[in-house]
């Protein structure tokens, strides 16, 4: 079965968050189910640089403003179709934002083009390649569903995955005439949203199936608290809405072989983690002692509950904990972390920025992986934590609720606990969870059992890849 994945990022070529990890890992996971997944991606500079030779498979005189071509290539084990369109994607700065951190003003063109090309491929643009299923991701891929629905193509089926409903791709009505959609698409059944154009909204309306990345988030987004205005539409479409948990790439994230670690180890040799802890302490300027080292690897945003962490730093330190923070994001939150580190030399360290290797070392050396998100569609850092024996301390929302088993006394007794959960997601809630974590840490037998249990949890793609495969099959069966 040929499936075309439509994604604005893909690991290892271009990543701003978990979407890249998922888009990069899913093709390999699906290959085991006889699914050939190709990925349609924008030709950003870092993608073009990785391409090498490639083969031109299609040319456009005018792809939303200028000439462009499609290049097929196999890179890092991924089958890519890259949209080589310099006027849309070849620029310095971030992939979504300019050097000043503002959204690119033409993002609507850049991602309309992505969806439009996907629909053209499904209509047979390239001889010998005609995917029957399009699997689009987030608002950047969502327009593929609208272009299929309004393009008179009744054979292609589209699955749209919501990785984060907070990002919806909303634009003014003035862009509509440039979208290459019939006028009929500018209403409730199409891309119209509160008088403007909503890319995610249109996709959710037009896709044949909607998925999101955990069962709990699939329920949450049908409520006003988490649906960000789209809850009504999702309730209407609930019969076609599925929550399928993300897995992780267990090859790239394997403490036995991970080259980014100072020492490799397995569930039976977690003692060696100490060497990583030492390396981590050095990197973050932390003292070595008998208290737990909390690690935080995250975008520094409101979603991730970073302000709640800032509120709890003094408390965490007073309980004998240390904190290592790796991340970047909102200026105010970065400042809060810089100040926390200045207030607690040797106890709190902050590395501002994005560092893939260091993120691995943190999983291999931290005692606790802190994930106190206000909402979390799935979350990957707690899954890496489980696999690496960095016990996750998570808020009870979304995928965090679905992947971590809280160490309440019953679970500890039964030996099934894998981490600590807390709710409500506020300062006192996290404070109490930190207290509980420190006290569990000082029960070495309980702690190491929890670590080992986590390390044995199946966080691979196996089960979820099977669910996606079954979903694609059922979509084709409905024709």
What are the φ/ψ torsions at residue 434 (nearest 5 degrees)?
Answer: -65, -40
Between 22 and 370, name the residue whose CB sits nearer to ligand GLC.
Answer: 22
Site string for ligand GLC, 99-118 (x = CB under 6 A): --------------------
State phi, psi for 422 to the nearest 5 degrees: -140, 155
Site string for ligand ADP, 92-131 (x = CB under 6 A): ----------------------------------------
When asked if residue 248 is in the footprint of ligand GLC (CB under 6 A), the reply is no
The whole-angstrom distance between residue 173's C-alpha and the CA centroid of its chain comes to 29
Q: Which of 120, 220, 376, 406 binds ligand GLC (CB under 6 A)?
A: 376
Per DSSP, what are the bridge partners of residue 37?
A: 3
Candidates 27-35, 50-58, 269-277, 296-304 — which segment interacts with ligand ADP by CB under 6 A? 296-304
Contact with ligand GLC (CB under 6 A) among 57, 209, 378, 440: 378
| 25 contacts ligand GLC (rule: CB under 6 A) | no
Going from the C-alpha of 334 to that of each of 307, 328, 337, 353, the distances in angstroms are 10, 6, 5, 10
Does residue 330 bind ligand ADP (CB under 6 A)?
no
CB 54 within 8 A of CB 21: no
Give the x/- contact pattern for ligand GLC in 213-232, rule: CB under 6 A: x-------------------
Encoding tokens for residue 202? Answer: 């249109």
Closer Cβ to ligand GLC, 22 or 112, answer by number: 22
Looking at 153-161, 218-226, 321-329, 430-438, which segment touches ligand ADP (CB under 6 A)?
A: 321-329
Would you count residue 380 as binding ligand ADP (CB under 6 A)?
A: yes
Q: Which stretch binds ligand GLC (CB under 6 A): 15-23, 39-47, 226-234, 426-434?
A: 15-23
Residue 168 binds ligand ADP (CB under 6 A): no
- Tell whether omega for the bond before 304 is within 30 degrees of 0, i.e. cis: no
15 forms part of the interface with ligand GLC (CB under 6 A): no
- Beta strands (DSSP E) in 143-218 are 157-162, 170-171, 192-193, 196-198, 209-212
Q: Are 1 and 34 in contact (CB under 8 A)?
A: yes
Which among 2-10, 234-242, 254-262, 355-363 is the span making contact with ligand ADP, rule CB under 6 A?
Answer: 355-363
Query: For residue 92, what are the CA distances in angstroms to 101, 139, 251?
Result: 12, 22, 32
Figure out which of the listed residues 156, 359, 421, 437 binds ligand ADP, where binding follows CB under 6 A.
359
SS3 content of the chain, % helix, strand, coil (to 5): 45, 20, 35
User: 299 contacts which partner out of ligand ADP, ligand GLC, none, CB within 5 to 8 A by kind?
Assistant: ligand ADP
Q: Is the Cβ–Cβ distance between 379 and 17 less than 8 Å?
A: no
Following DSSP, what letter does each residue of 39-89 receive, concatenated?
Answer: EEEE--HHHHHHH-S-EEEEEES-SSSS-EEEEEEEETTEEEEEEE-HHHH
Q: Name, in order, each residue with C-beta under 8 angstroms of 128's C-beta and a sequence gap of 6 or more.
A: none
Strand order of the β-sheet with 170-171 is: 170-171, 196-198, 192-193
- 16 versus 339: smaller Cβ distance to ligand GLC: 16
Among 3, 4, 19, 95, binds ligand GLC (CB under 6 A): 19
**29 binds ligand GLC, rule: CB under 6 A:** no
CB of 400 to ligand GLC, least distance (A): 8
Q: Does 18 interact with ligand ADP (rule: CB under 6 A)?
A: yes
CB 173 within 8 A of CB 157: no
Binding site for ligand ADP (CB under 6 A): 17-18, 21, 297-299, 326-328, 354-356, 359, 378-381
Binding site for ligand GLC (CB under 6 A): 17-19, 22, 163-164, 213, 246, 376-380, 399
């Amino acid at each position: 079965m040929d499936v075309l994945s439509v994604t604005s990022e893909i690991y290892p070529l271009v990543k701003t968050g978990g979407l890249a990890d998922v888009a990069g890992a899913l093709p390999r996971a699906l290959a085991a189910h006889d699914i050939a997944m190709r990925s349609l991606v924008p030709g950003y500079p870092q993608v073009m640089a990785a391409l090498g030779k490639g083969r031109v498979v299609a040319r456009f005189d005018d792809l939303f403003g200028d000439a462009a071509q499609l290049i097929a290539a196999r890179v890092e084990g991924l089958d890519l179709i890259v949209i080589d369109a310099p006027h849309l994607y070849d620029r310095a700065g971030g992939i979504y934002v300019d050097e000043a951190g503002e959204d690119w003003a033409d993002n609507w063109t850049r991602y309309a083009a992505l969806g439009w090309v996907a629909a053209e491929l499904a209509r047979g643009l390239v001889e010998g390649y005609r995917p029957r299923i399009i699997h689009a991701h987030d608002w950047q891929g969502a327009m593929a569903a609208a272009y299929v629905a309004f393009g008179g193509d009744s054979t292609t089926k589209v699955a749209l995955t919501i990785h984060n409903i907070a990002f919806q791709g909303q634009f003014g009505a003035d862009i509509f005439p440039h979208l290459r959609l019939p006028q009929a698409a500018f209403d409730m059944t199409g891309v119209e949203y509160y008088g403007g154009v909503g890319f995610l909204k249109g996709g959710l309306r037009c896709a044949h199936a909607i998925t999101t990345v955990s069962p709990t988030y699939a329920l949450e987004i049908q409520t006003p608290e988490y649906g960000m205005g789209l809850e009504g539409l999702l309730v209407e479409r609930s019969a076609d809405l599925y929550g399928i948990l993300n897995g992780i790439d267990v090859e790239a994230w394997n403490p036995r072989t991970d080259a980014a670690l100072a020492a490799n180890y397995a569930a039976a040799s977690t003692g060696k983690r100490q060497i990583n802890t030492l390396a981590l302490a050095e990197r973050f300027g932390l003292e070595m002692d008998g208290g737990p080292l909390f690690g935080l690897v995250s975008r520094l945003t409101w979603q991730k509950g970073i302000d709640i962490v800032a509120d709890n730093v003094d408390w965490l330190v007073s309980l004998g904990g240390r904190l290592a923070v790796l991340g970047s994001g909102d200026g105010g939150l970065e400042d809060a972390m810089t100040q926390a580190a200045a207030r607690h030399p040797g106890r709190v360290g902050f590395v501002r920025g994005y560092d893939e290797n260091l993120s691995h070392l943190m999983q291999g050396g931290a005692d606790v992986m802190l994930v106190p998100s206000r909402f979390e569609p799935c979350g990957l850092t707690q899954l890496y934590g489980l696999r690496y024996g960095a016990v996750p301390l998570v808020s009870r929302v979304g995928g965090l609720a679905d992947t971590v088993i809280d160490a309440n006394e019953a679970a500890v007794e039964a030996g099934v606990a894998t981490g600590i959960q807390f709710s409500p997601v506020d300062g006192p809630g996290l404070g109490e969870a930190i207290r509980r974590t420190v006290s569990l840490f000082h029960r070495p037998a309980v702690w190491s059992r929890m670590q080992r249990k986590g390390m044995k949890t199946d966080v691979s793609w196996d089960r979820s890849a099977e669910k996606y495969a079954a979903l694609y099959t059922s979509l084709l069966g409905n024709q």
